[in-house]
Amino acid sequence: MEKITSLAKRRGFVFQSSEIYGGQNGAWDYGPLGIELKNRIANAWWKEMTQLHDDIVGLDAAILMHPRTWEASGHVENFTDPLVDCKKCKSRFRADQIPEENLAAKKCPDCGGELTDTRKFNLMFKTHIGPAEDTASIIYLRPETAQGIYVNYRNIIQSNRMKIPFGIAQIGKAFRNEIVTKNFIFRTCEFEQMEMQYFVKPGTDVVWFDEWRKRRWAYYEKLGVKMDHLRWHQHGPNELAHYAKDAYDIEYLFPMGWRELEGVHNRTDYDLGRHTQFSGKDLQYIDQDNNNERYIPYIIETSAGLTRNLLMILCDAYDEEQVASDKNSGSSEGTASGTAGSADDWRTVLRFHPNLAPVTVAVLPLMKKDGLAELAQDIRAELKEDYATDYDQAGAIGRRYRRQDEAGTPFCITVDYQSKEDGTVTLRFRDSMEQIRVPRAELASRLRQEIKTYKRVK
Ligand code: GAP
């Protein structure tokens, strides 16, 4: 994880928030490559959950919601972690994350000092809206995006004439006052979620729950993730959230071990039932195709962290490998595909799927002089409309390939002296480091084909 954190900073994926002031715990900033990667992960999820499903529509609800929302949802009462403090070293722990024997003996796992009694700590950030800081002005930063969907369920049925079963998808920020924020961006106080709530007829919920589990698994397969790094974990009775009848996590094998990536939850009619009770509004569905049968729908939820997905994609893509220098470098003899040096070398490479890579193609002139830079700029301008591109003319070609490998750029185009003569360029593949010559006129279609048929080999 240290290597990934350091690469992420060095290459502008993720920076510590407010670093010049010593950093802000639990908050991170996404740099130029990070925001591109985050957007692509979000777009892949959005396409999968909306464009590819006729029965799912999107929503972007406000972060600030009426405070009654969180009473109805059960978060005011139940969204707590058990907390203990060490009286000696002042460390703070989640009581459910320290060894049981320490908890029983009230002994700090770090220094052996005495621990306080366990107390409940609500994870919602609370603030005030308006000028008065009294109980009437309390407002929360949403701890999950789901509630914004539930309070709009009636609006969406009416405005879009949705019929059950149907879903509503949303991507947005969520906030939790997490006690322990470690492992880089894995658990943070400010993060993003990608959630989809699927409204079904009671009695069909188990079938839909299984169906969504299958679909979400297939999604990661399609994304090109190492499937032997994924597994299911069913929640036991002590793990189930207050709203859930059944829940499975998709776990990923992060460098610190197996951890939750996404949850699929059967939330029953809990949420719409509670919002009916607290708002006084009738949230029953009227089934016009079935004698106007009325019922409160059950909800199957798929809930993934966007920022946690980004960490997973970074970990999944990260690789270090030893390479023979003839594969690693280009030549100084006028073409990009010659050899240089003899000693074997190491490279760090991010093997992103081309659909997720922040930069799809980098254009590199072998030399700045003799019109090569202009030709390379011209090619880049042509590709820009369709692809995220980069241009780099600084340093030896081998070093430039390395920089692109580290950024996860799947394709490099090198313009050399031969390009001026016969109109061909070198297309270099990140994963195999293979180089082939392609006529300039065929570049766009060749790239399209390579992206479509991309298969990860390592
Ligand atoms: N609406 C249901 C819900 O929020 P959750 O299991 O608490 O369920 C869902 O969260 C997903 O959100 C998790 O699987 C994880 O990917 C992400 N997530 C939750 N808390 C997070 C945090 N503090 N930092 C980053 N991601 C988090």
Kindly indicate the confidence band of residue 135, based on its pLDDT and cuts at 50, 70 and 90. Answer: confident
The alpha carbon of 194 and the centre of ligand 1 are apart by a number of angstroms equal to: 9
H and E: helices and strands count for the chain: 15, 23
End-to-end CA distance of the chain: 19
Distance from Cα 152 to the centre of ligand 1, integer Å:
21
Asked whether the predicted pLDDT for residue 400 surpasses 50, the reply is yes
Q: How many CB atoms lie within 10 A of CB 380?
A: 20
Helices within 183-224 (DSSP H only): 205-222
* Helix or strand run (H / E) with residue 187: none
Average pLDDT value for residue range 442-452? 95
User: What residue owns the CA closest to ligand 1's atom 8?
Assistant: 303
Q: Indicate whether 403 pLDDT > 70.
A: yes
Q: Please give the distance of CA 2 from its chain centroid, rounded to a whole number.
A: 19
Residues with CB under 6 A from ligand 1: 144, 146, 176, 178, 187-188, 191, 193, 195, 260-263, 301, 303-305, 307-308
DSSP reduced 3-state for 435? strand
Ligand 1 atom with the shortest distance to the CA of 265:
2
What is the Å distance from ligand 1's center to 179 Cα?
A: 14
Going by pLDDT thresholds of 50, 70 and 90, the confidence category of residue 369 is confident
Contacts of 189 (CB under 8 A, 6+ apart): 25, 26, 27, 125, 175, 176, 177, 178, 181
Query: Considering the chain, what percentage of its residues have pLDDT values greater than 90?
Result: 87
pLDDT at 327: 57
Closest ligand 1 atom to Cα of 143: 4
- CA 288 to chain CA mean position, Å: 39
The residue with greater pLDDT, 100 or 329, is 100
pLDDT of residue 305: 98
Compute, in angstroms, the gap from residue 232 CA to the centroid of ligand 1.
16
User: What does the pLDDT look like over 32-80, one tens digit per residue?
Assistant: 999 999 999 999 999 999 999 999 999 999 999 999 999 999 999 999 9
Q: Whose CA is nearest to atom 9 of ligand 1?
A: 303
pLDDT band at 344; cut points 50, 70, 90: low
CA of 193 to the centre of ligand 1 (A): 7
Tell me which residue has its CA closest to atom 17 in ligand 1.
305
pTM: 0.93
